[in-house]
Amino acid sequence: MVNEKFSTLPLPQTSEGFYSPLLDFNGLLGAIIYPVEGTEKSFDLWVMNESWTKQFSIESVPGVEMLLGFWKTGELFIQSLDHQLVLFDPSTRELKNLGIYAPKWSMQITAYVESLVPINARSEHEGRIISRPARN
């Protein structure tokens, strides 16, 4: 990380009243833009490469509270208006209820990413670890 450069990037242009959560889309930084209000929502996916580029739009998905993220196959995880986790397939426009319920605004999807730090890293530093002697 010594040679890494960091900078501030503006999000894609949105108007007031739109969400723009950040997410991983096929290994790239993505932003989903969709309206806060309404029960039928449309989504725009923007991806950061050198600049923000609109990848696609999904029009009129009924019964959506909020978008949670993408599955590997391009399907979207959505929290429905009745607080169920559903999977939306943009190609077939099919909604599949996954049978998971959560209170409003408490559901989230977290991507698992393997770490470069080994789990057994402690063995490399054992000489520096101070421990108490065991009590009898």
Determine what percent of the chain falls in helix, strand and coil, rounding each to the nearest 5: 5, 45, 50
Residue with tokens 């503006």: 10
The answer to pTM > 0.85 is no
Each residue of 34-67: pLDDT tens digit? Answer: 777 766 777 888 888 888 888 888 887 778 888 8
| 79 vs 118, residue with greater confidence | 79
Bridge pairing between strands 18-19 and 40-48: unpaired
Q: Give the pLDDT score at 112.
A: 72
| 53 vs 132, residue with greater confidence | 53
- Spatial CB neighbours of 42, under 8 Å, sequence gap ≥ 6: 34, 35, 57, 58, 59, 60, 61
The three-class DSSP label of residue 87 is: strand
